[in-house]
Amino acid sequence: MTGAANDTPQEVPRISLTFDDGPHPIWTPRVLGALQRAETRATFFVVAPLARRFPRLISEILRYGHGVEFHCTEHVRHTEQSREEVEADVRDGLRELRRQGVCPRFWRPPWGVLAPFTAEITCAFGLELALWTEGTHDWRGDPASEMLERVGPELRPGSIVLMHDGIGPGALRSGCGETVALVEGLVERIRFLGCEPGPLDATLTVGTSPTSEAFSEQERPVGT
């Protein structure tokens, strides 16, 4: 987990918007629409089999200037897999994304859970780990207003906000409508703070080591 120095201190401070667990045929287009209305971009950490199933959505994400990065092939915690299984997961997932013209730079492991070997695998595949600093817990189905109230006060220059445009394992909601509704208010709050929302940048991956906030994604029940 590295970051480069910012050579242009005059730039407006950035806050990254990120989405996991897609692409989803219903919700990813709606998230893209919300981002377009808010005149901002984001980074999508995609699940490789879904990218294979919905290649047009990957093309749409890229066409609108968003980033596509690697989440996983199988949405399983690294602590529940062997090193060989995780290596195969990354190898297969990157191969699929490269078939679609995507060469990921960042990797966000499922639930942000790292095994002792995760960092070594990251380096072996030429990736950078990218977790997050603020989690919306949108997988619970909370109203957009509650998510904004919870996350808004925590936002700082360099924050990385985690949301989901798909229904991942353990989600307690049946759709991502509240996430779509959250985008506009979240972008307004970020700009009110004097920051600009946007996709993940290498200069913002500093400080995304595993924290209690990252690990809180483990609250998701398993197998639902």
**Catalytic residue numbers?**
20, 164
Task: Please state, in angstroms and rounded to a whole number, the distance separating the CA atoms of residues 120 and 102.
Answer: 22
DSSP-derived 3-state class of residue 222: coil
DSSP-derived 3-state class of residue 108: coil
Q: Which helix (H) or strand (E) holds 2?
A: none
DSSP structure class, residue 135: E
Strand ranges inside 49-159, DSSP E: 67-72, 106-107, 128-129, 134-135
DSSP-derived 3-state class of residue 33: helix
DSSP structure class, residue 189: H
Task: Please state, in angstroms and rounded to a whole number, the distance separating the CA atoms of residues 189 and 140.
Answer: 22
Task: Please state, in angstroms and rounded to a whole number, the distance separating the CA atoms of residues 30 and 177.
Answer: 8
